[in-house]
Structure 1
Amino acid sequence: MRASVAAVGPQAADMTVYFYAILFARYPDVRGLFPDNLDVQRDRLLRGLLRIVDFVDDPENLIRFCSRLGRDHRKFGALDGHYPAVGECLLASLARYAGPAWSPESASAWLHGYGVVAQVMTHAAAEDARTAPALWEAEIVDHVQRGHGIAEITVRPDALYPYAAGQYASVETPWQPKAWRYYSPAHAPRADNTLTFHVRAVAQGQVSQGLVHIAKPGDVIRLGPAQGDMTLDPGSDRDLVCVAGGTGTAPIKALVEEAARSGIERYVDVFVGARTAEELYGLDDMLRMSQQHHWLSVRAAVSHERIAGLEGTLAQVLNEFGPWPWHEAFVSGPVAMVTQAGAALARQGIPQERIHFDPFDVPVLEAALLPRQLQEPLEE
C-alpha cells in the first residue's frame, strides 16, 4: 500500500481528478453529496489516503481515525451503499497511476485495507446515529467585525451541541452548500448552548468570505460534530504551555477558560504570536484574563516589526524560555507555526506525547499535513 501511494505521488493531482471523474460517471447519484468546486475535496482525499497508509501498521490509531471519519461523514449524507462504489473507483485510480508499483499483491492489500476502513467507518456512523444528529442547524445571533478581515460570529444551535474546550466544529454556509470548513469555538461550553467562532476571511475562501462579509444575524448555518484531541485531561494537574498564532487563539482561549473553571491549581503560560503588533489578534482578551487569574501569564511576540517586548517567531521566542519537562503543551495556528513551535517545545523538554495540536485549519481529513513526531520544522 505504501509503495503504490509513493508511486502515485508525482501524479497525485491527476489521480484525484480521475477518481472523481469515474466515480461520478459510474455512480451519478453520488454527485449531489459533493460541493460544486472540488479543489479542496480532491486535496482531502489524498491526505486521507496518506493518513490511512500512515496508520496501516498501527491498528489502534487506524481504527480511531476511521471511526472519526465515519461519524463525520454522516453530515455529507454518506450511506453504507456508497462505500463499495468509492472503493471500486479508488482502486481503479490507483491502478491507473501507480504504474509498475501496482501488482496483484498491492491490489489485494488495498482491497482488504479498504474493506477494513469501510467496515470501521460504517460501524462508527451507525453507533453515532443512535445518540446524535448528523448535523445541527444554527442561527447567527451576533456578528462583530474585529478588523484585519476577522469577524466574531455567535450562533445558537437548534439542539444541544456537545463539545470540549479546544475542539473544532465543521461549518457549512448557505452561500456555498456542501463546502465544509473548520473553526474552533473561542470559549469553553456555555450554559446557553451558544458558540462564538473567530473567522478570518481568506483570499478566495469559499466559506470564510461569506461568513465574514455576507453573514448577518438571522442567517442559518449548519454544524457538523465536534472533533479534535486538543483538550484538557480532567484528571491531570500539570502546568500548561499554550502557543497561539492568528485566529489559533480561539481554542487556546477556550482551554484557558476550561482551566480556570476546573478548580485544579496549576500555572498556565500563554504565548501569542503574529507578524506585526496590529495583527496580535486576541491578545487583549488574554491579557484581561491574566489580570483575573494570578496563575496565568501571557506573552506576545512579533516577527516582522521592532517593538518593545519579545521579537521573533513563536518558535524563536519559545527557545528563550523553559525548560518545561513536566508541562503539557497546546499549540494552535498555521501549520508551519504549529510544527516549528512543537519542535521548539520538544527541545525545551516536553515529551512528544504531551505536545497537543489540532491546527486551526486542519481537520481529521487533513491531519497528514503534520508529522506524527514533531522533530524538525517544515519548510513553508
Structure 2
Amino acid sequence: MRLRRSLLSQGERRAPAAPRRTTAPYDGAADQREILRGLDLVSPFDELIAELYDELFQRWPYLRSLFPESMEFQRRHLAQIFRYLIDHLHDPDEVTATFKRLGRDHRKLGVRPAHYEAFEAALREALRRTAGARWTDAMEAAWLRMLRFAVAAMVEGAEAALGEPPAWQAEVTAHERLRRDVAVLRVRTGEPYAYRAGQYAAVQSPRVPQAWRYYSFANAPRPDGELEFHVRAAGDGGVSEALVARTRVGDTLRLGPASGTMTLDDDLAGDVLLVAGDTGWAPAKALLEELSSGRAGQHGVHLFLGARSFSDLYDAETPASLARRRPWLRVVPVIEDEPGPGCWESVADAVLRHADWSRRTAFVAGPPTLVRAMTAGLAAAGLPAGRVRHDPLPAARGVASLSAL
C-alpha cells in the first residue's frame, strides 16, 4: 500500500523517528506494578480505545485507510492486546517473542515504524482524557515505556523478515460448501509458501478490504503446494462470511506468513492425544496427514472430535475413513447431549474420564473454552505443560489478529 507522506510533514503532525531497541534491560515488572496502580482509571478499555482512534484519525485522517470499514473487531482486539501486555509485562522475553512475530506479520498491512509513533501520540492523549485528575506522570510513563518496548520488538521482527514477501497472493482452486455455514477452501500461492502442519495464517478476502482473520491449515505441506482451510461463517459481513458464501474458484485471496507452534517435534516420543472441536478439526487433520505420510506406525493416536450435535461434525467421514485405513488411529466422537454454554467443558470432561493421558503428547484445537478446559484438566492429571500444544487463546491470538495499530 502506498502511504501518503503527510505523516512526516512539518508541525505538530510530524512523527518522531522509528523506535529502536536499546541495550539497557527493560524492567517490565516495575512498569506492570505502576500500570496496575492506575488501571481502574482507564478500564474497561472501551472509552480509552474510542478516544485513541478518534485522536488518531482526527490528526492523521488518511491513516483510516489502513483499517477495515467496521472498527468493532479492531477495538475488541486492541483491548486484548492491552490486556496481554499488562498481564505479561513481568516477562519481557515472552513479550519480545510475541511482538517480533507480530511485527513480521504486520508487514502485509503496509504499517511503517512512523505509524507506531502516531499511535503513541494518540494513546498518550487518550490516556489523559480517559483517566481524569488522578492520572500521574509516572502512570503515563509506564504505559509509554510498555508500548515502546512492544513496538521495538515489532520493528525488529519486521526487519528480520525483509527477505520474504509481506503477503502471498493465493488463487482459490476449490470451494466446497459442506453446510450452510461451513466451507472447505483450497488455494495455491504464486510463490513458494513455507508452513508446517498445525500452524495457521491470516487470510484476507478482497470483499472485505483491510480485514484479516486467522485460519489453520487443514493439510500438511504437499508437493503441489495446495493449501486447505476450513471456515465457519461467524456472522454477516465479515471475512468468514465472505469466504464461505461469496468466494468462488478463481478468486484471489491474500495470505500472511505462517505462525503457530502446535507442530510435531522431530523427536516426538510416545503416543499422541488429539482433541478437536468444531473447525479445530482442520489442524488436527493436518497433523494426522503428517503422521500418516512420514511416521506411519511410530505413534498410537487417539483423536477425540467434540461437537455440540452430530450435525456439527461437518466432515465426519474423513476421520472415520482414516481410522479404517490406519490401525494406529482411534477416533472417538464426543457429542454433548444438551448443547449450551457448558458444552465444551463437558466435552473436555468426557475426554479426561476416558483414560490416563499423563504420558501422551497432547494437541488441542477448537473453541477457547474447550482449549482452556482441556489444558487445565490435562495439567491436573499430571501431563507436563511442555507436552500440551494448542493455538493461542484469544488474548494472545488477538495480538496477532489486529489489522493495524
Q: TM-score, normalised by structure 2?
A: 0.84
8 Å Cα contact 2:80-2:395 kept in structure 1: no
What's the secondary structure of 1:273's corresponding residue? strand
2:293 to 255, 261, 270: 261
In structure 1, what is the equivalent of residue 42 of structure 2? 8
1:19-38 matches, cutoff 5 A: 19-38=52-71
Q: Per the alignment, in what secondary structure is the counterpart of residue 262 of structure 2? A: coil
Deviation at 1:294, TM superposition (A): 1.7
The alpha-carbon deviation at position 359 of structure 1 amounts to 5.6
Q: Is the 8 A contact 2:80 2:394 kept in 1?
A: no
Structure 1 residues 214 and 67: CA distance shift in structure 2, 3 A: same
Partner of 1:132: 164
Q: Which position in structure 2 is the counterpart of 1:315?
A: 348
Match for 1:268: what amino acid? V
In 2, Cα distance between the equivalents of 1:360 and 1:103?
Answer: 33
In 2: Cα distance, 1:323 partner to 1:170 partner: 36
Q: In structure 2, do the counterparts of structure 1 residues 252 and 98 end up closer, same or farther at CA, with 3 Å as the change threshold?
A: farther
- Counterpart of 2:218? 186
From 167, 170, 193, the equivalent of 1:161 is 193
In structure 2, give the amino acid aligned to 1:277: F
Following superposition of structure 1 onto structure 2, how do residues 180-219 of structure 1 map, counting pairs within 5 Å? 180-219=212-251
Identity of aligned residues (%): 37
**What is the alpha-carbon distance in structure 2 between the residues aligned to residue 186 and residue 150 of structure 1?**
14
1:203: Cα distance to partner? 2.1
Q: Answer yes or no: is 1:88 the counterpart of 2:121.
A: yes
Check whether the contact 1:171–1:221 (CA below 8 A) recurs between aligned residues. yes
Residue 284 (structure 1) aligned to one of 300, 311, 317: 317
Contact 1:243 1:332 survives alignment (8 Å): yes
- How far off is 1:52 after superposition? 1.4
State whether structure 2 residue 145 is matched by structure 1 residue 119: no
Q: Which residue of 2 aligns with 1:334?
A: 367
- Deviation, 1:248, is 0.8
Letter paired with 1:159: E
Aligned-pair CA distance for 1:91: 2.4
Q: How many Å separate the matches in 2 of 1:260 and 1:7? A: 54
| 1:360 CA drift (Å) | 8.7
Q: Distance in 1 between matches of 2:167 and 2:291?
A: 28
* Displacement of 1:196: 1.0
Matching residue's letter, 1:9: S
Ranges in structure 2 where 5+ consecutive residues have no aligned partner: 1-34
Report if the CA contact (8 A) 1:301-1:312 is conserved. no
| Structure 1, 119-128 or 201-210: larger mean CA deviation | 201-210
Shifted more, 257-266 versus 71-80: the winner is 257-266
Higher Cα Rg, which structure: 2
- For 2:134 and 2:222, the matched residues in 1 are separated by 53
Do residues 143 (structure 1) and 175 (structure 2) align?
yes
Counterpart-to-counterpart distance in 2, 1:93 and 1:4: 14
Instruction: Name the counterpart of 1:372.
Output: none
SS at 2:113's partner residue? coil
Q: How far did 1:312 drift?
A: 8.8
1:7/1:351 CA distance change after superposition, 3 Å: farther
Q: How many residues are aligned here?
A: 362
Which stretch of the first structure deviates more once superposed, 322-331 or 33-42?
322-331
- Equivalent position SS for 2:267: coil
**Alpha-carbon distance change, 6 to 70 in structure 1, aligned in 2, over 3 angstroms:** farther
Aligned counterpart for 1:42 among listed residues 72, 75, 80: 75
1:240 and 2:272 aligned: yes
